[in-house]
Amino acid sequence: MPRVLCLLLPLIALPGRAAAHASEQAVVLLLPTGFYVAGGVASVVLTVLLVSVLPDRWALSLFRPLALGRSGGRGGAGPLWTSAAVFLALGLLCVIGEIGPETPVRNPLPQAVWTVFWVAIVLWQGIVGDIWRWVNPWSGPYALVRRLGARPLLRYPRWLGHWPGLASFLAFAAVLLAHPAPADPDQLAPMVAIYWAVHFAGMVVFGPKWRRRAEGLTVLMTNYARLAAVSKARGRWRLGLPGWRYLRFAPPPVALAVTMLVALAVGSFDGLNETFLWLGWIGQNPLEFGGRSAVVAQNLWGLVGACAALTAVFAATVWLGAQLAGAPGTFATSFRRLAPAILPIALGYHFAHYMPSFLVDIQYTIRTASDPLGLGWNLFGTAGLYVTTGFFNTVDTVRVIFLAEAGAVVIGHVVAIAMSHALAVGLHRSHRKAAISQIPLATFMVAYTLFGLWLLASPRGA
């Protein structure tokens, strides 16, 4: 552990950035984060050692799910009805986005998109299970169009694979990271409407396969749903270590594997771009930040760079692992086979990065729910809810928040390491070869734990 600390100290001492007034970050800077980070990294290292020395059957048994009660069918038309309802709600929200309250703290559209969907639903999808099937805004309306007799006009080109889905998710990420005002209701409403319409048109032309392969959010959500602990299999609900289903699937195609890596790259860059370190690199004074409009190009390049770098590093570690294991021919399969192991890390980052803002924004969402049009209504008695940030002001609450974030990052890596080892065993059919092949990837994951925890502990300014 002392060695880990030595590694950490220069990172912790890196010049940081500051927000306009001290609050959560100021208290975080006073916490003994060095020890927390060291403890987190040590847990991940320990996991690597354990899965390397313990018999494979132990690792594999971790991913053998427990059978729970009988599962019914696929829910019949239920998900289609809820999807149709979500579609109608989304349409209404877009109208409210255009003509309702102007600020994101009082308009329900940005709250629905960035707080309810992008934080709550995504996390639910990855941790609990497939809710997207019930709440996506496409499948219901599409079922109606089918009902009315429409049939796909063209066959979805096989060669396109999941690449359009990757492009579509990157477009979403570009708005998230680089748009000057992604929460401005006026600007968000047309973006949501266009995104929905483009993909609905794709479904009408190419059939439902379009959504599964070309709609970036569904691709992401499907990836996460397969990670969830609870799932249906062979007529029963089953509960297993997150990721257990990936041990049963054929390896994803290359484009789909890349979307898994990109999910982590986007989440990581969304943390990095707020740090003093990054702001220093791009010449922004964190105490007098020039606003998102001042860093559009930097964030776009950063996003592209983060996706490219993460994919390249992942490929390099997998390639090196294949070489070390004496099975160089397995590189392509290994790349696809092991990519799902990145998902738990991405999900852990998602939780860690968005948790503090979620705690504030969900209060705004609850308040707005009572008066979505800003007309003075009080539908649920919450229109007068006082939105507090007081919990960022005390050590006890900030420590709990920080440890929850750090815990999510560490758990994500621990699961990832167990998962990638189990996947490697399936690939190499030999404990020794599997363990050796994992050395570069496991090293990368340990380093990434350090990076993730450093992100949480370092000062932020944008």
- Residues that bind other proteins (rule: CB under 8 A) add up to a total of 68
β-strand pairing of 236-239 with 230-233? antiparallel
Smallest distance from the beta carbon of 55 to other proteins, in angstroms? 46
Q: Does 390 bind other proteins (CB under 8 A)?
A: yes
**CB-CB contact of 98 with 158 (8 Å):** no
Quick one: 279 or 318, whose CB is closer to other proteins?
Answer: 279
Q: For residue 117, give the 3-state DSSP assignment.
A: helix
Backbone angles phi, psi at 290, to 5 degrees: -75, 5
Q: Is 297 in the site for other proteins (CB under 8 A)?
A: no
Binding-site member from 63, 224, 244, 276 for other proteins (CB under 8 A): 276
The dihedral built from the CA positions of residue 147, 150, 155 and 158, taken in this order, carries a sign that is negative
Q: How far is the CB of 258 from other proteins (least distance, A)?
A: 32
Applying CB under 8 A, among 253, 290, 305, 326 the residue interacting with other proteins is 290
Instruction: Give the nearer residue to other proteins in terms of CB position, either 61 or 389.
Output: 389
Contact 240, 64 (CB under 8 A): yes
CB of 459 to other proteins, least distance (A): 5
SS3 of residue 239 by DSSP: strand
Residues of span 15-54 touching other proteins by CB under 8 A: 15-23, 25-30
Residues numbered 121-160 forming contacts with other proteins, rule: CB under 8 A: none
With CB under 8 A as the contact rule, the residue among 65, 286, 321, 356 that binds other proteins is 286
* Rounded to 5°, angle at Cα 156 from 136 and 168: 50
From candidates 235, 291, 305, 328, binder to other proteins by CB under 8 A: 291
Distances (CA, A) of 127 to 71, 83, 351, 353: 19, 21, 10, 16
| Number of Cβ within a 10 Å radius of residue 31 | 15
**Binding string, 76-115, against other proteins, x = CB under 8 A?**
-------------------x---xxxxxxxx---------
Candidates 130, 215, 371, 405: give the one binding other proteins (CB under 8 A): 371
Element counts in the chain: helices (H) and strands (E):
21, 3
Neighbour-count burial for 390-402, b at 16+ CB within 10 Å, e otherwise: ebbeeeeebbebb
Name which of 284 and 420 has its Cβ closer to other proteins. 284
Contacting residues toward other proteins, per CB under 8 A: 13, 15-23, 25-30, 95, 99-106, 180-181, 183-184, 276, 279-280, 285-294, 371, 373-378, 381-391, 393-395, 397, 459-462
